[in-house]
A and B are shown apart, each in its own frame.
Chain A
């Protein structure tokens, strides 16, 4: 049964052999039949694991052991003890995630915005540039990791060769952080650029023209027309970039391997290793819920920050 009310409804009403205004009824189970295949997947691999993951985090859970004793919040308590083995590993990894996020988000907002502004005009070849800047993003982290592991090689890499340096980008900090952030900017700049570009093109041209008639300078137009017009897009980009950065895994796994001394081993990397290599799944689940808590707080802060500015 259609949800829309339009001229078509009149046609239904006028149809012979039917009481006016009552379109043909569908069988009551029809919508559920449409939904069933997806909902089965959704229940098994989305709803069930959310609950099951929390259940796991309350147990001493090893996939290889028959007994999985209930330990309550003990896994969490151990993680919040920075002096313990699990706690110190976990907070080192959380720190790595924090450093990477704080260092990568600003360039991943500012540079794509600059690129989008450069490309906002109508000119020949714009789509070619857009396609070029976006290209690395379709490659996936594996290819990106291999290529940069090579370019950043301390002995034969192009980066040291052209910069005339002798820096161990993959095994020393802070160079490793510069490398990881730089690679990530190269890889994902195009994504944020095209989102900003789409946002820029949604800003009505008349607003700029009106400001120009009023004699506003280019900078003034940027401040009073472009930036406010981009606010919803910016909220989305900031939020999704924070989440993506906080979930960084492949760059660290492939380029630094967590070196030196696990200092660039991110939280996701540690969770995957703890749960899926050492099969300490109770601890890994507890880690993932703590990380998820941080991510949700970060999202809430972003939305809050942008809402306040909107009110003023």
Chain B
């Protein structure tokens, strides 16, 4: 009897969760469906989930259009997101290691200053960072969307949490073997930190790929835009072509969805855990 009730409850739970899940994904399904519609089909007042007739016209048009160089935007986004994620790892990893495992004068002050900036509302950086980037002649070029965001404290904080937990014995053994600090860092600490490094890389890549506010203001000419920024301008045109916009949205989602499907566990755990420890 209780067994029956329990399995009934379980079935009900699955039903609820499945219905929410289906509703949840439906906007994305409709995005995909519309991207395969004709111009008329996408603008129709009778919405169809299965495009009839299905066509690649929207993709053909948006990929071939001269005033929306979407291939260039895609390459820009890929370069920026990869460059940013690499820069975060290359700068944050040694800094986090030093703050976690080396004893030196000023360590407490430096760490406290870095952590304190986690509480600085990012809006105060918007205008001055634009002026600094302008001073460096980076406006309208990729360094503007790669470099400044790497100054954030999150990466250092995230990796330090990991390095602190490493057991000291390995390092001491390596020290006895005559390794210097840099060798200990690269041959022992970094390989052990691989899961944390991969997570930080993924989070940095995703954040940069999806960034919208900063690139639409700091990138100006059509060839220098990232994908979200380019599509953002594109939508501003008077006559919204939803078939093209949905095709663009699908193209902008693809790398992120692929990354997410491959590394879903790491992304979710990384974000939820970093939230808890923050």
Contacts and interface: CB of A to CB of B under 8 A. Distances in A.
Contact of B168 (A6, A149, A161, A236): A6
A288 B259 CA distance: 35
A135 interface: yes
A219 interface: no
A150 interface: yes
B262 to A, nearest CB: 12
Interface in A1-27: 1-9, 11-12, 15, 23-24, 26
B273 A198 contact: yes
A112 to B, nearest CB: 11
Nearest to B251: A143
Contacts of B31: 143, 146-147, 150
A257 B157 CA distance: 36
Contact of B246 (A9, A23, A147, A155): A147
B268 interface: yes
A3 B168 contact: yes
Interface stretch (B14-22, B54-62, B64-72): B14-22
Contacts of B227: 142
Contacts, number: 313
Interface string A123-153: 1010101111111101111110111111101
Contacts of B101: 2-3
Interface in B106-129: 107, 110, 113-114, 117, 119-129
Q: How large is the interface on B (under 10, 10 to 19, 20 to 34, 35 or more residues)?
A: 35 or more
B235 interface: yes
A285 B30 contact: no
Q: How large is the interface on A (under 10, 10 to 19, 20 to 34, 35 or more residues)?
A: 35 or more
Contact of A138 (B95, B119, B132, B256): B256
B191 interface: no
A215 interface: no
B97 interface: yes
Contact of B127 (A11, A31, A276): A276
Question: Which secondary structure dominates where chain B touches chain A?
Answer: helix
Given A11-B172, A44-B151, A150-B245, A38 B156 contact: yes
Nearest to B260: A138
Interface of B: 10, 13-14, 16-17, 20-21, 24-25, 27-28, 30-31, 34, 43-45, 47, 90-92, 94-95, 97-104, 107, 110, 113-114, 117, 119-132, 134, 147-153, 156, 167-169, 171-173, 175-176, 180-182, 185, 206, 209-213, 217-218, 227-229, 231-232, 235, 240, 242, 245-246, 248-249, 252-253, 256-257, 259-260, 264-265, 267-269, 271-273, 275-276, 278
23 contacts: A2-B101, A5-B168, A8-B168, A34-B97, A37-B91, A44-B151, A46-B117, A46-B120, A47-B113, A47-B117, A49-B125, A52-B128, A138-B257, A138-B267, A142-B249, A147-B31, A147-B246, A150-B30, A253-B232, A288-B123, A289-B124, A292-B120, A292-B123
Given A38-B91, A249-B212, 8 more contacts: A6-B168, A12-B176, A28-B104, A46-B153, A47-B113, A133-B24, A198-B273, A236-B275
